[in-house]
Structure 1
Amino acid sequence: MGIRSFVASIWAKKLVKKYRKSHLNAFESQDFWMKSNVKMAEKTLIGKTYAFDKIQNYLDFKSQVPICEYEDFKPYLEEALAGASDIFWPGRPAYFAKTSGTTSGVKYIPISKESMPYHIAGARDALLHYVFYSGNSAFLDRKLIFLSGSPEMEEKKGVKIGRLSGIVNHHVPSYLRSNQLPSYPTNCLEDWESKLDAIVEETKDQDMGLISGIPPWVQMYFDRLSAKSGQKIGDLFPNFQVFVTGGVNFEPYREKLMESIGKSMDVVETYPASEGFIAFQDSSGEEGLLLLIDAGIFYEFVPTDTYFSANPTRLSLTEVELGVNYAILLTTNAGLWAYSIGDTVKFVSKEPYRIVVTGRIKHFISAFGEHVIGEEVEKAMNAALKAFPEVKVTEFTVAPEVNPMGGKLPYHEWFIEFDQDPADLKAFQAYLDQQMQGLNIYYKDLLAGNILQELQIRKVPVNGFIQLMKSQGKLGGQNKVPRLSNDRNLVSCF
């Protein structure tokens, strides 16, 4: 056992004990972060605007601080980007994380010197929980690869700007630097396909223990490794033990990735965001991701059926219920206030608090009032892949066809890139539709009422989604294909 794995095993026991204690005192932890963040920002522009000095408890907070989306926050950000201090957090941000939003274009999310350590700790603690529950720490003595955005940053008015994954790269602990891949020059390459080729060359002969990244881009890496070596990933890297993933639901990608590896693999799912590190799979065997309740963030939850109303319901962590879809709001020690990150979650446990990510609050299909969400299409696809084991899917998205040619009834069109086609495409299509009817009663009623016809599948050519993302300048890194949309803008190129 190497020094890294030995120390990690000891550290993991202490850390898990700390997390268990924080979840037993969830109310106290969350109340602390609400009050602490408010107190810190009392003298900022936003603190004065919303009378932070008058906030004594959660009822005061939600009556004085409105729900904030990016467009609401943008004027404050523009002042900070222009060089102003004390706008939404004392002083100036340490960084701005640059993200590619699907609804607001490029976004700039503040990261403070107080919040940055929690971004790092979230990833570290996910691995240490895995070490504790699995008993496996040997991977830490081998090479680790993090497929991420470029760590190069621009600077504006003294504040550095870059992709979150690139910013985090500058804060990787020194004890991991010596076995981290890819090299800094390779990681700085902007063109994703050139970067991927360089990463393949750097890693193909290495002793890899851990690979981390967003599933579709890891799949590209695996495909190129296999093409280069002629081997399965598990044969090329016999000591590859842990796959760390985040950003999207892993299940639709699991089967193809495991086939590429050639053996079953331990997977650690994480829920990082530019706004804060929210949750990770604690590897205890329980469903869902463990919510980080003592990490600089105060959470609120809005039932999705009230989100777009004049007076959305806002709940603290102690008021949530199991099985309800919520839009998640963050108040952070980087200066975000009741900020809607756009994700929806559902609690699967309250002892401790565990969540699953169910989709995006503005990513849905409701052209006819059906309000189909991401969780439903992913569940339907996962069920179909189990029922038709020969089928392999690379990527998919769903959009409505409102005005079919020939006066036919409208339908939901599923754009699917198959790695291996169904033996009977019509049967696969019918099964998907049956699953959707079972998951969404409104969709079922629209079919029964002859408002919609059954869904249809359009096969996307090989690498079709790669070309789509490339055409939008979103190939690789943290970018993700939207699972569904309420119009056909995304799929117009197919």
Structure 2
Amino acid sequence: MLNFFKKNVALAWAKKHVQKTGEFKKNSVRNQEALLLSLVKTAQKTLFGREHDFENIHSIEDFQNKVPVSDYEDLKPYIERVKKGQANILWTETPEYFAKTSGTTSGSKYIPISKEGMPFQVAGAQSALFHYIARKNNADFVNGKMIFLQGSPELQENFGIKTGRLSGIVAHHIPKYLQKNRLPSWETNMMEDWEAKVDKIIEETEHENMTLISGIPPWLVMYFEKLTEKHGKKIKQLFPNLQLLVTGGVNYEPYRDKMNDLLGGKVDIIQTFPASEGFFAFQDDYTKEGLLLLTDHGIFYEFIPLEEYGKPDARRLTLKDVELNKDYALILTTNSGLWAYSIGDVVRFIDKDPYRILVSGRTKHFTSAFGEHVIAFEVEEAMKATLEKHAAQITEFHLAPQVNPSEGLPYHEWLIEFEKKPEDLELFREELDRQLRARNTYYDDLITGNILQPLIITTLKKNAFHEYAKSQGKLGGQNKIPRLANDRKIADQLEIYKL
């Protein structure tokens, strides 16, 4: 009786919530400008606001003229002052939290999360679940056990600002109605050793009625593989009531075939787009491609055409200006004090009513040693199409340029760890090259013009990416190995694992 009541309450909440979100979906353009001006007005007296003449900003154009696009290095002097407990620097108050992330050029990054910004981090995930329940017209999963895997929820405190990984911070804000059914235990989530942590999670979950599991695809694969190895069964045999996977962080598509094989039965998927800087989008219809852009969650968005990114005269477009199926660098202004901040992600719009996006890559993760500017979306789609045609499966891959081969023309090297090898690797290689050429005309021109030779595949041993991540101290739920690079720093280290 209690279970019946619980799922029906969840269904009623979900339908009411989805109905309420209709307003922001219809009025995104108008609401975005109002949001920006509200953020500027709030921060007029901050150090950043005074230095950038916020008092005389009355339009989006004014804002773009007075506030340049920034990255973490640009904002770091302000953030260092905030870290010392100074208020009224980027935002009116000191942040409630700092989300600590690993950076490449800046070392550790400290991303501020204000008292106003934190609720939206949780609300984004809740809204994704409510949209799923309403669309599915089914909330059965609320009666089972759910995994919300986070980094350690242990937080440090400096000058009253709590600091930790975003997922650990969010662990302190999971609604009470989900806490009873939540796994793993708090003590297990506190563990830092990732492999030991996964083993402990298996111990705590293997005999439970798991209905929802949340994590980034590489973690889900690792967890499912260990369960399968231990029990000799597919995941749906172990968890017959598993209804939903919630995932984000990296594109799910290259993992889909492998995940389907491990699951051994139908499980719905919701893809999300969270980050330390904000919760940006989620799949509002689990049956369709694309993530709903959250335009009412305290974030003002700008979009720079990818081919212009980094140029002094790059256009800064708003929602009303974007085109479908074009790649844009994502720029954020947030209610936590980030101003025209380049997050490093690349998105493309697939719908404008409402605004839906795909995450197509990273501004720093591309291969363009020969001017081809191949991005993640292109290589992932090329790989997906090739795997489907050759009935193969992969664990992971990395693409890097080989500029100075010992003989012959330069080429793209794809380092691939296969789960299930194709019957004919040479035909697979030719198809992969053909698929990438179809998606990137610059790459095609280089092949046609005999500037590059067709790609070369290096096959890697089982667990190569796992061992590489472990050797770099990057083994864990929030760590991701770039799928492609413009140098050979990762590729050269992966070479030691080749077959």
Same fold (TM over 0.5): yes
- Summarize the alignment of residues 68-79 of structure 1 with structure 2, pairs less than 5 Å apart: 68-79=70-81
Q: Which residue of 1 aligns with 2:460?
A: 460
User: Residues 191 and 197 of structure 2 are in contact (CA less than 8 Å); yes or no, is this contact kept in structure 1?
Assistant: yes
Q: Secondary structure at the match of 2:50?
A: helix
> 1:320-343 deviations in whole A, cap 9, x for unaligned?
111111001111000001111000
Structure 2 counterpart of 1:44, one-letter code: T
- Contact 1:68–1:339 under 8 Å retained in 2: yes
CA distance in 2, matches of 1:99, 1:237: 33
1: CA distance, partners of 2:81 / 2:471:
32
Letter in 2 for 1:473: G
Residue pairs, 1:410-425, within 5 angstroms: 410-425=410-425
Gaps of 5+ in 2: 495-499
SS in 2 for 1:419: strand
What displacement does 1:284 show?
5.8
For the 8 Å contact 1:147–1:218, the answer to whether it is kept is no
Q: Quick one: percent identity of the two aligned structures? A: 55
The whole-number CA distance in structure 1 between the counterparts of 2:83 and 2:349 is 36
Question: 1:157 offset after TM fit, Å?
Answer: 2.1
1:103-136 deviation digits (Å, cap 9, x = unpaired): 5432111101100000000000000000000112
Which residues in structure 2 correspond to 1:9-48 (within 5 Å)? 9-48=11-50
Cα separation, 2, equivalents of 1:35 and 1:143: 43
Q: Distance in 1 between matches of 2:250 and 2:315?
A: 27
TM-score by length of 2: 0.97
Aligned AA (2:395): T
Give the drift of 1:147: 2.1
1:50 to 37, 49, 52: 52
Amino acid at match of 2:396: E
- Alignment deviations for residues 130-177 of structure 1 (CA, whole Å, 9 cap, x no partner): 000011201011100012211111222221111111100000000100
Structure 2 residue 438 is matched with structure 1 residue 438: yes
**Quick one: distance in 2 between partners of 1:101 and 1:234?**
38
Inter-partner Cα distance in structure 1 for 2:425 and 2:113: 48
Give the whole-Å Cα distance in 1 for the aligned partners of 2:43 and 2:6. Answer: 39
Secondary structure in 2 matching 1:4:
helix
CA drift of 1:32 comes to 2.3
CA contact (8 A) 1:100 1:479 kept: no
- Compute the displacement of 1:287 (Å): 2.6
CA distance 1:172–1:204, shift in 2 (3 Å): same
Aligned pair count? Answer: 492
CA distance in 1, matches of 2:75, 2:319: 24
| 2:175 partner amino acid | P
**Per-residue deviation, 1:4:** 3.2
**Worse overlay, 209-218 or 223-232:** 223-232
Match of 1:122 in 2: 124
State the TM-score, normalized to the length of structure 1. 0.98
Counterpart amino acid of 1:493? Q
User: Measured at CA, do residues 411 and 37 of structure 1 come closer, stay the same or move farther in structure 2, by a change above 3 Å?
Assistant: same
Name which of 166, 176, 179 aligns with 1:177. 179
Matches of 1:343 and 1:183, distance apart in 2: 33
- C-alpha distance in 2 between matches for 1:199 and 1:104: 33
Task: Give 1:166-245 correspondences, 5 Å limit.
Answer: 166-245=168-247
State the partner residue of 2:99: 97
Match of residue 261 from structure 2: 259
Deviation at 1:273, TM superposition (A): 0.7
Q: Do the aligned residues in 2 keep the contact of 1:374 with 1:484 (CA within 8 Å)?
A: yes
Deviation at residue 24 of structure 1 after TM alignment: 0.9
Q: In 1, Cα distance between the equivalents of 2:282 and 2:76?
A: 29
Q: 1:241, CA displacement in angstroms?
A: 0.3
Partner amino acid, structure 1, of 2:379 = V
> 1:292-307 to 2 correspondence within 5 Å?
292-307=294-309
- What value does the CA root-mean-square deviation take over the aligned residues? 1.1
Q: Which amino acid aligns with 1:458?
A: T
Question: For the residues of structure 2 that align with 1:286 and 1:189, how far apart are their CA atoms?
Answer: 36
Deviations 1:239-272 (A, max 9, x none): 0000000011100001111111101210000000
Q: Where do 4+ consecutive residues of structure 1 move more than 6 Å?
A: none
Measure the CA separation in 1 of the matches of 2:489 and 2:105: 12
